[in-house]
Amino acid sequence: MPTAGILLAAGAATRMGSNKLLLAVEGESLLRRAARTGLEAGLDPLLVVLGHEAERAEAELRGLACRPVRNPAHARGMNASLSAGIEAVPADRPAAVVLLADMPLVTAATIRAVEARWRETGAPVVTARYGGVAAPPTLYARSLFGELTGGEGEGRGRAVVRRHADRAAYVELPAAALADVDVAEDWERARAGLAGGAR
């Protein structure tokens, strides 16, 4: 059975000053790039959780075989969007991989490696670890879905990883492969990483 994907892309990106997910990298927006990467990795369905400027985001995803999930409570924080994504996972999917749309160095190969590690180990949670720092893509087995739903704010996914650290499995990656885009300086570093092949 395929693994579902949840791409979190609902935030307002207030620190960037504009909708960062529509910034272009290598000829496509961060949002479209992240969705395409998830699809290339074989995630099915790929659920893209949208909120801020949802219409523009859906237009950006046109032609991709992903499934938009509108989160009317997106202003309540990433936990609300994670909850919306988890609740949209089909009942027959045994696990879901959570992705962030503002991490342009994540590759389909990394996502596939996380899923393969889960199939090898049966661990309830598998995440990438960049020079010792755990960050998405993160796979959660269905047994943990209840811990990922409800509430507001930030950090529930990380908290679940910490809570189950004794049973978690990891895919080790270099620290240079970790980049998330929150402010303009992050964007420049991410573009430099792509140009330098830090993937």
Task: Tell me the domains of the chain and their CATH numbers.
Answer: 4-194 (3.90.550.10)
89 within 8 A of 6, measured Cβ to Cβ:
yes
Q: pLDDT grade, residue 135 (50/70/90)?
A: very high
| Averaged pLDDT for residues 49-57 | 89
99 within 8 A of 136, measured Cβ to Cβ:
yes
Residues in the chain: 199
- Is the pLDDT assigned to residue 191 strictly greater than 70? no
- Is the pLDDT assigned to residue 199 strictly greater than 50? no
Q: Roughly what angle, to the nearest 10 degrees, separates helices 30-40 and 108-121?
A: 40
pLDDT at residue number 82: 95
pTM exceeding 0.75: yes
- Is the pLDDT assigned to residue 143 strictly greater than 70? yes
Burial annotation 136-150 (CB, 10 A radius, 16+ → b, else e): bbbbbbbebbebbee
Indicate the range of 54-58, 85-89, 90-94, 125-129 predicted with least confidence. 54-58
- Cα gap 82→69, rounded to integer Å: 11
- Cα gap 33→125, rounded to integer Å: 25
Which residues lie across from 103 on neighbouring strands? none
pLDDT digits (tens, 9 = 90+) for 72-106: 888 888 899 999 999 999 999 999 999 998 888 89
Compute, in degrees rounded to 10, the torsion defined by CA atoms 158, 77, 83, 133: -20
- Is the pLDDT assigned to residue 16 strictly greater than 70? no
